[in-house]
């Protein structure tokens, strides 16, 4: 028989691994093949594979937090608390063996529930718009690059500017680029409509988008542009959706999506645009284009500030996408000087953060310095999202820095008349010849990158080694991850061990162990660390049962990870779940800003080893600190 188990607790530390250890031991005693997946603070370990699940005779979920059961559909599943995994592992396994366990079948949700959940997750208008944009962008990129290549490689300088000879192959390539541009607005409108009404919305959306882009239908030279395309897409989508909801005879239903819905909605959208919507929207769009083209001085700088800030503030999110869409639309209208500042702003956050990690390594952990290399590379190719890991970890310092850099770069690009013929950013577009005033492009980008790098490094604190008051070199909290921790004794010592604790209450013992940390120079403030310990105890007792307590806390007052161990042979009340007094007490101190999870791995090993009754008895019998250290050597 093969049994699988999943263990998890809200905090994801000790109980998770204690339950796993006891289930495995019980399985061995009962001659059952058992595999346990743990969902702890350091993530999922020993993950159950599809093959494991297919071969399993039953599943035990011993968890005090939500564990997804979707992968166990059709299997016999027991769902219980993590304490049962610790205290009743044999009973759980025997219940699976008896076969008296129901098959798991998920509850079916109504259509209304699914729709409501979907609505709560995202704004539908934004979702539909971004669906259209995602299909439109490749057309702009291809069109812009083909035109840029044709001008760069086939163009000839004339008094009137760069001209491509009519009989040159580059003229044909330029035409291909213009053809790609021609599809931009119909594709935008078509796929907005598809997002709303599925495939029946495609034809009316693209027809509406074509009419919006071609002003000859309603007497306009310029057309309604991207604003008209967006309106056409939403109009076509919702009209097609409304027609889909009309009840028709069953005989007509099969042809509704391919004949009636596209034809009727196309006629409605087309006529509305020709006679009602087209001309007014075209006038608005023409006015907007003229205004942007005529922006000079303070007004153009204000626009650059707004666009630069929008690009950087959410690194690929809604603000970023709106600014990007705006610049892309201006490319189609022949106004490249809007996309130029955007193209500069796009690359500054990732390159700036990458440079920051290179020029001042003391500010960053090793894993952050590695992320900086990747971020720098992503920036070269115009991928703003490269800065997201840094912003997520330290938003208050990183986001203002990247916004400031992007704003500065965008403003310099606007003043320098930098243009970009491609809906993309970063040095890659300049290298491919898509940028006007290349020198100013690089000046703007370099200045913006330097602003970001120096600003974020000014705001950040050092994480490298600093000399302590006693002259010893102490690790800064953030650097603790560099410490190789493979066993418990890596972060404890004989000086951190008490074989006969004096305290008679939980708080007395806590004070005694904290005093031990302080005497070894591990703490900056005893009071601050004690508050962290008590805050953790307030969430739930760290008395794990079986005479074990593992109080632990993260605090800025901790200089480096450490473990203190104490024995209270007569026991002390720790409000343990099984009612037993704590006799073996391990206190873990961790720096608050420690980015690694090594201490959690130690706690996992500790929890597992303490499930061994013989090991616990061996600890209780030690007569000296050195003897205790020898026993603790086994925890690795």
In sequence order, the β-bridge partners of residue 419 are 436
Q: Dump the DSSP string for 355-418.
A: HHHHH-GGGS-HHHHHHHHHHHHHHHTT-GGGGHHHHHH-HHHHHHHHHHHHHHHHHHHHHTT-
Q: How far apart are CA 190 and CA 207, in angstroms?
A: 8
User: What φ, ψ does residue 360 adopt, rounded to 5°?
Assistant: -145, 80
Please answer whether residues 548 and 567 qualify as being in contact, where contact means their C-beta atoms are separated by less than 8 angstroms.
Answer: no
In sequence order, the β-bridge partners of residue 548 are 545, 584
Dump strand ranges (E) for 125-187: 156-158, 161-163
Q: What DSSP designation does 589 have? A: E
State both tokens at 158.
């004339």
Q: How far apart are CA 286 and CA 338, in angstroms?
A: 15
Please answer whether residues 175 and 188 qualify as being in contact, where contact means their C-beta atoms are separated by less than 8 angstroms.
Answer: no
HSE-up (13 A, CA, CB side) for residue 35: 15
Tell me the catalytic residues.
Answer: 9, 552
Q: How far apart are CA 476 and CA 466, in angstroms?
A: 7
CA trace torsion 590, 536, 617, 518 (10° rounding):
40
Contacts of 340 (CB under 8 A, 6+ apart): 413, 414, 417, 418, 419, 420, 435, 436, 437, 441
Write the CA distances from 632 to 488, 495, 517, 619, 626, integer angstroms: 7, 14, 18, 8, 10
Q: How buried is residue 343: exposed, middle or buried, by Cβ count under 10 Å (0-12/13-18/19+)?
A: buried
Query: For the chain, first and last CA: distance in Å?
Result: 31
Q: How far apart are CA 193 and CA 240, in angstroms?
A: 8
State both tokens at 261.
């819905």
State both tokens at 557.
């007052």
Q: Determine what percent of the chain falls in helix, strand and coil, rounding each to the nearest 5.
A: 60, 10, 25
Please answer whether residues 207 and 266 qualify as being in contact, where contact means their C-beta atoms are separated by less than 8 angstroms.
Answer: yes
Q: How far apart are CA 574 and CA 506, in angstroms?
A: 6
């Amino acid at each position: 028989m093969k049994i699988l188990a999943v263990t998890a607790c809200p905090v994801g530390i000790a109980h998770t691994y204690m339950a796993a250890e006891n289930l495995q031991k019980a399985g061995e005693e009962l001659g059952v093949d058992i595999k346990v997946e743990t969902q702890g603070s350091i993530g999922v370990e020993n993950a159950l594979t599809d093959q494991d699940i297919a071969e399993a005779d039953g599943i035990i979920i011993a968890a005090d937090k939500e564990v997804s059961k979707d992968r166990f559909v059709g299997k016999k599943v027991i769902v219980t608390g993590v304490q049962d995994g610790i205290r009743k592992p044999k009973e759980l396994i025997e219940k699976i063996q008896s076969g008296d366990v129901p098959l798991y079948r998920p509850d079916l949700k109504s259509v209304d529930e699914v729709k409501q959940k979907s609505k709560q997750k995202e704004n539908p208008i934004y979702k539909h718009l971004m669906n259209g944009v995602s299909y439109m962008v490749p057309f702009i990129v291809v069109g812009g690059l083909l035109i840029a290549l044709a001008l760069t490689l086939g163009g000839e300088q004339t008094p009137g500017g760069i001209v491509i000879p009519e009989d040159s192959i580059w003229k044909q390539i330029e035409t291909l680029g213009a053809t790609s541009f021609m599809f931009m607005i119909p594709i935008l409108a078509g796929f907005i409509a598809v997002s709303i009404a599925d495939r029946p919305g495609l034809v009316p959306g693209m027809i509406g988008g074509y009419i919006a882009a071609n002003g000859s239908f309603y007497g306009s030279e310029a057309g309604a542009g991207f604003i008209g395309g967006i309106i056409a897409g939403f109009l076509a989508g919702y009209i097609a959706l409304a027609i889909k909801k009309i009840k028709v005879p069953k005989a007509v239903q099969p042809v509704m999506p391919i004949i009636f819905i596209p034809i009727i909605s196309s006629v409605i959208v087309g006529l509305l645009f020709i006679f009602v919507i087209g001309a007014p929207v075209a006038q608005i769009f023409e006015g907007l284009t003229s205004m942007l083209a005529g922006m000079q001085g303070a007004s153009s700088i204000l626009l650059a500030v707004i666009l630069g800030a929008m690009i950087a503030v959410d690194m690929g999110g809604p603000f970023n996408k709106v600014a990007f869409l705006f610049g892309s639309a201006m490319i189609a209208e022949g106004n490249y000087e809007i996309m130029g500042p955007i193209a500069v702003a796009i690359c500054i956050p990732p390159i700036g953060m990458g440079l920051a990690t290179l020029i001042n390594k003391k500010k960053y952990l090793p894993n952050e310095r590695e992320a900086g290399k990747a971020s720098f590379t992503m920036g070269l190719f115009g991928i703003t999202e490269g800065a997201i890991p840094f912003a997520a970890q330290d938003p208050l310092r990183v986001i203002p820095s990247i916004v400031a850099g992007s704003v500065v770069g965008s403003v310099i690009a606007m003043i320098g008349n930098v243009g970009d013929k491609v809906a993309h950013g970063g040095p890659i577009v300049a290298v491919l010849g898509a940028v006007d005033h290349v020198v100013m492009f690089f000046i703007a980008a370099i200045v913006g990158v330097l602003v970001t790098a120096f600003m974020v490094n000014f705001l950040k604190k050092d994480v490298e080694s600093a000399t302590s008051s006693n002259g010893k070199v102490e690790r800064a909290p953030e650097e603790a991850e560099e410490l190789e921790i493979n066993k418990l004794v890596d972060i404890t010592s004989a000086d951190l061990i008490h074989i006969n604790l004096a305290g008679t209450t939980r708080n007395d013992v806590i004070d005694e162990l904290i005093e031990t940390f302080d005497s070894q120079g591990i703490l900056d403030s005893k009071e601050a660390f004690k508050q962290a310990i008590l805050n953790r105890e307030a969430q739930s007792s760290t008395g794990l049962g079986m005479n074990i307590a593992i109080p632990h806390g993260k605090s800025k007052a901790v200089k480096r990870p450490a473990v203190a161990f104490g024995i209270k042979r007569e026991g002390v009340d720790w409000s343990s779940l099984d009612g037993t007094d704590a006799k073996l007490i391990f206190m873990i101190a961790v720096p608050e800003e420690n980015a690694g999870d090594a201490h959690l791995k130690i706690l996992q090993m500790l929890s597992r080893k303490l499930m061994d009754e013989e090991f616990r008895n061996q600890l209780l019998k030690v007569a000296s600190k050195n003897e205790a250290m020898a026993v603790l050597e086994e925890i690795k």
